Structure formats: structure tokens, C-alpha cells
Amino acid sequence: MGDDDNNNNNNRNGSSKQSEPPRGPPEHSVEIIHPVVPPPRRSWLEKIRNRLKEIFFPDDPLRQFKGQSPVRKLVLGAQYIFPILEWGSHYNFSLFKSDVVAGLTIASLAIPQGISYAKLANLPPIVGLYSSFVPPLVYAVLGSSRDLAVGPVSIASLILGSMLRQEVSPIKDPILFLQLGFTATFFAGLFQASLGFLRLGFIIDFLSKATLIGFMAGAAIIVSLQQLKGLLGITHFTKQMGLIPVLSSVFHHTHEWSWQTILMGFCFLLFLLLTRHISMKRPKLFWVSAGAPLVSVILSTILVFAFKADRHGISIIGKLEEGLNPPSLNMLRFEGSHLGLVIKTGLVTGIISLTEGIAVGRTFAAIKDYRVDGNKEMIAIGLMNVVGSFTSCYVTTGAFSRSAVNHNAGAKTAVSNIVMSVTIMVTLLFLMPLFQYTPNLVLAAIIVTAVIGLIDVPAAYAIWKVDKFDFVVMLCAFFGVILISVQHGLAIAVGISIFKIILQITRPKTAMLGNIGGTDIYRNIHQYKDAMSIQGFLILSIEAPINFANTTYLNERILRWIEDYEAGQDHLKKEGSDLQFVVLELSAVSAIDTSGVLLFKDLRRALEKKGVELVLVNPMGELLEKLQKADENQEILRPNNVFLTVGEAVAFLSATMKRQSSTI
């Protein structure tokens, strides 16, 4: 991949560098040659154990138990499983006061957001409040973040609603749609918790930063356009999520537009955007944007009730059920024709919500300088969704907007989630009749205000400056979401990211090294203009693990380096400047397989036919160990062709050549 430039520039470099008088290696004692030492012998069982430990337990969670008494180990084990036991023993009234203020603040945001996001997922509005009651209690016990505020989020709501609506209509068959929503939530939680228990969190790392930025921006635009139904008062709206179908539906139903809805809706939208702008400019006034959604709900409800606006074309939520979450275990559907749909929906929403939750938690943990355990977070978020699916909740995670408010409001521990949950409980028990006349337009305005912050233009510009390929990935995610569908846009971006990884594996970078005058330092001659090639030596650096996927390419690329070198020598027509040694600098080769070992054997044979010797520099532990086992006849690892540094290799081999020429 990156070698095209090297290939194109090599001849230019050969002519410009070689036109100057070639300089030899710096003069120093050749007798001091540091041996290349093989790694200490380990059994295959030890190797497997260490490898598995690095894959699944990179944080070494058991190190805290070393040297502890049995009772202390039991306490530490309980604290590891239930983090609330760790910080709960140090909890005091001062912390509680801060958590109460933060909990009440995020509750004022959670109530309107919960209702709005449930509507976005095509679920009954009450389900959004249910999802803001039970999951935060579970997370407070199991979660490791002090700032994460748990509840429904816009992206997961959008994905859940759009994917399930492909097969089931939430209007024609609302009960089945609700059942599928709870079942998808169960599978999302099961998948999330499994990643944590099996310590497979590296799977979500395939969602790169560029992918998430493009995906979030595209989803934010789709979510905002979907809210035109509520802001314009349209009754017959498309079920599709793409940009073109949504805009087509908007302009093909202009006769349904309601001027009362438009006037009232855009007034509240401007009010919410203004409060958001104020809080962004003055972070100390965070409570302005935090309380604005609830103020909008209360004010709009009063206006609708006072002026009987529901009789003049403004749609309202309607009566909401009172009472706490009813059990929903009997509503889960693990059979039938829709099982594949709910599993797929659960996996997609589970990955997205898990990525968002962990990213948000780590963001605020970095600000406050404490550590969030990724595997604990996966287990906590997963179990709260499993429990939520049993108690009439849909997919929840840590929301960025709500967590930002929680952080700015001075939250000290996860007790703020408990306070928020208790506030939601009071609302469910006693305040539900007050929301009967809440207009849908204000919910649409709240959603638009919440998701508009997902469009991160500065981050997109930074990606463009740093990595053009990542920028292409971001654009694919963005346009895939707005032009095709949310899940297909995400799949396209992930596919391109994986393709990038495959390219990096199958086309590893190689570089030609030269000597920086007056030193024994060797660097890439295309990067360091002062680095000069050494007469009779072709010094190459391989900058990736060697495996079956790239051995053919590396073999061809190294032979191409040799051909370019020889072509440059022929062009200069210098006598006695034939290539004698190909030196491979292997410091960056961290791993090798059997195909890689065969590469060195093939190279040695190919070079031997040309009268050129293969020299290896600084082969790392695994590479050296496998070469030793495969090289029984010492065809590759001969006494005078393995060195610790390039400088020692060039100095020793140059001295050897001088002795041979003087003897002749």
C-alpha cells in the first residue's frame, strides 16, 4: 500500500544518492559485536497461557488478590463484582447532597427525553419512562462510572424502531411490535453481558472513531428529518428512513401541514436551541439547557390545555398509564418467523449502545482522573438491559447529553442514577395525568435539539487532515446512513474499515535504510535526506508481522528492491559496486508463522543464485525462536549473518570484505 511511493521514488533516490561519492560506515572497533540472544525457553503451555492472558486479561484483574488473606480475597471479589460495595463504604452526607442535586437535574431531562425517544422507537411513550426507572438502579450497583447517566438514547431508539418496522407495523400491530422490542432488548443485553463475561470487548473496537463520527452525523440528520412529521403536523408520513423518501414525503403532503403546529413547534425548537447555545458558551449555566426540555413540556402542555389546541390540529400524547413497570417476561418471543429479526436488531443496537456507553463513561473518567473498567461496563450495561427486558424497558445505555448534565451538576457517585430513578418512580405513580395534553411537536423539538450535537464538524475536519482513508470511511458511514439505511450505512463503514486492516496486513510497509553520516544510525532514506546508502549493501526494514497473508507480497517486494538497486548501479556504471549483502532490519516484526519462515528460506535461495548474502538484524523473540526450530541445517542463521544492530552488521561485513580484497 505505502510502497507504491517507495517504488516510484526508488530510482530517483538511487540516481541522486548514488551520484555522490558513496560513504562507508563510521570507523569503530569491529571486534565489539553484541550477540543476538534467543528468548528463554518456555513450554508451549506457558506460551498459550501468556498469549490468552494478553488477549482476554490485558488488565490482569487478579493481581489485586495476590498475597491477600482468604477473607480479604472474598471482600475484594465482592467489590469487583459489585463496585457499589467499594465506594459505598466511604459514602457520606456531603457526597449525597451533591448526588441529589445532580439526580434531580438529570431527572428533569430524563422525563421528556424518555417520552420522546420511545416515540422515536415507535414504542408507547410510557415505555421510555419505564426505561428510565429500572435500568439506572441496576447500573448503580454494577457500573464502574461515577458520571454515566443511564436511559434511552436517540441512536439506539432510531435503530430499534427502524429495523423492527421493516417487518412489523407499530400502528397495525402494536402489541407484536412491543413484544419484538422487548425481545430485541433481551438479546442486546445478552450479547453485551456475554462480551463482558467472555472478555471479548475488543470486538467493539472495530467501530473506529471515523466510523462512529460519520454514523452519528448521518443518524442525527435522519432523526431530525423524521421529526418533521411532528413539527409540521403531517399525519401520513413515510415509514422509510432514507433522505430522499423522507423529503419526498414532506413535500408530497404539504396539504397536511398545520400552521398552528409549525408556529408552536418551531418556537419551542428555537427556545431549546437558544438554551443549548447558552450552556455551550457558558458551561456554568448547564442547568439552562438541562431544564429547558422539562420547561418546554410543562409550558406547551399548559398552552394546549388552556386553548384547547388539540381541537385545532395539534396532536397530543394522550392518556398515559399510571403505575410502575409491569412485568414483561411473558411478552418475550423466542420463536416464530421474527426471531431472526429480533436477534439481528439486538446485536446491532447492543453494539452501538455499548460503544456509546463505554465511550461516554471513559470520557468523563478521563476528566476526573479515575478508571472505568470496560469489561465491568459491558456486564453492567448488558445485565441492566436483560433485567429491563423483563420489566417493560427497551434498550438503554449511558447517554452523552444526560451524562454531561450529570457531570456538570456535580455528581460524585452512581447514587445520582438512584435519585433520578426515584424521581421517575414518583412521576410514574402520581404525575402521569399531567402529560396527557403534552403536544407531540414539543417532543419532536426535544429530539432535534438532542441529536444535533451528534454532528461533530471539527472532528470530521481533524480526520481529513490526519488520515484521508479514515475520512473516506467516515463519508461512507455518513452517506450510507442518510441514503440507504442506518444499519446498512454502519455495515458499509465497518466493512471498509476491515478492508483497510486487511490491506495493512497483506501489504506491509518496507523501507530502504541509509546511514546518517558520522553515526552508526540507519534511517529511511526517503524520510531522512542525509541518510546515504552504503556501497554493496541493500538495507531494508520490514515494518509489520510476517504471516501467510503477506509473504508473497514481501518476497516480490524485496526482489523488486534488489532489481531497482541493481538498475541504479548499472546506470551509474561503477566498477566494484555490485550488490553483496541484503540486510533485513526486523525490529518491527513482532510475530511470524510457518509461511513467514519459508519466506526467509526462499529469499536465501533466490539471493544465493545472485551471489548475494542474506543478513538478518535484530530478529525478535518469536521470530528468532521459530527460525531456529525450522533452520536445522543453519541455512539462514549462520554464524556471521545475524546481528543486533545494522551498524554492527555493516561494520563487520565491510571489514570482512576489505580483508578478502586485500588477501586477493
Specify the domain boundaries for CATH 3.30.750.24 within the chain: 508-663
**Residue of 630 and 424 predicted with greater confidence:** 424
Q: pLDDT tens, 140-195? A: 999 989 899 999 998 899 889 989 988 898 988 999 999 999 999 999 999 999 99
Residue 73 DSSP SS3: helix
For residue 45, the model assigns a pLDDT of 83
Beta strand pairing status for 613-617 and 581-585? parallel
**Residue of 134 and 312 predicted with greater confidence:** 134
Residue 340 DSSP SS3: helix
Cα–Cα distance between 134 and 154 in angstroms, integer?
18
Beta strand pairing status for 531-532 and 397-398? unpaired
Residue 71 DSSP SS3: helix
Share of the chain above pLDDT 70, in %: 92
**DSSP assignments along 406-470, one per residue:** HHHTT--STHHHHHHHHHHHHIIIIIGGGGTT-BHHHHHHHHHHHHGGG--HHHHHHHHHH-HHH
Phi and psi torsions of 585, nearest 5°: -85, 115
Residue 16 pLDDT > 80: no
Alpha carbon of 38 to those of 598, 628, 637, 642, 646: distances in Å?
A: 20, 9, 12, 12, 18
Beta strand pairing status for 613-617 and 642-643? parallel
For residue 307, the model assigns a pLDDT of 85
Residue 7 pLDDT > 50: no
Are 615 and 482 spatial neighbours (Cβ–Cβ below 8 Å)? no
Superfamily of structural domain 508-663: STAS domain (3.30.750.24)
Cell for 89?
A: 463504604
Phi and psi torsions of 60, nearest 5°: 50, 65
Are 488 and 240 spatial neighbours (Cβ–Cβ below 8 Å)? no
Q: Which of 192, 230, 630, 558 is nearest to 379 (CA)?
A: 192
> Which residues, other chains included, contact 596 with Cβ-Cβ below 8 Å and sequence gap of 6+?
545, 546, 547, 548, 551, 623, 626
For residue 252, the model assigns a pLDDT of 84
For residue 191, the model assigns a pLDDT of 95
Average pLDDT over residues 264-284: 89
pLDDT band for 267, please (50, 70, 90 cuts).
very high
Alpha-carbon dihedral 230, 234, 237, 242, rounded to 10 degrees: -60
Residue 353 pLDDT > 70: yes
For residue 571, the model assigns a pLDDT of 54
> Which residues, other chains included, contact 284 with Cβ-Cβ below 8 Å and sequence gap of 6+?
none
**Which of 61-70, 314-323, 387-396 is predicted with the least confidence, judged by mean pLDDT?**
61-70
Residue 448 pLDDT > 50: yes
Residue 451 pLDDT > 60: yes
For residue 291, the model assigns a pLDDT of 85
**Which of 37-46, 450-459, 470-479 is predicted with the least confidence, judged by mean pLDDT?**
37-46
Alpha carbon of 606 to those of 329, 348, 588, 611, 638: distances in Å?
A: 68, 50, 24, 9, 17
Q: pLDDT tens, 481-527? A: 888 887 788 888 888 888 888 988 999 999 999 999 888 899 999 99
Average pLDDT over residues 576-604: 88
Cell for 590?
A: 513482532
**Strand partners of residue 311:** none
pLDDT band for 344, please (50, 70, 90 cuts).
very high
Residue 47 pLDDT > 50: yes
Cα–Cα distance between 63 and 168 in angstroms, integer?
50
Residue 83 DSSP SS3: coil
Are 152 and 123 spatial neighbours (Cβ–Cβ below 8 Å)? no
For residue 31, the model assigns a pLDDT of 52
For residue 20, the model assigns a pLDDT of 45
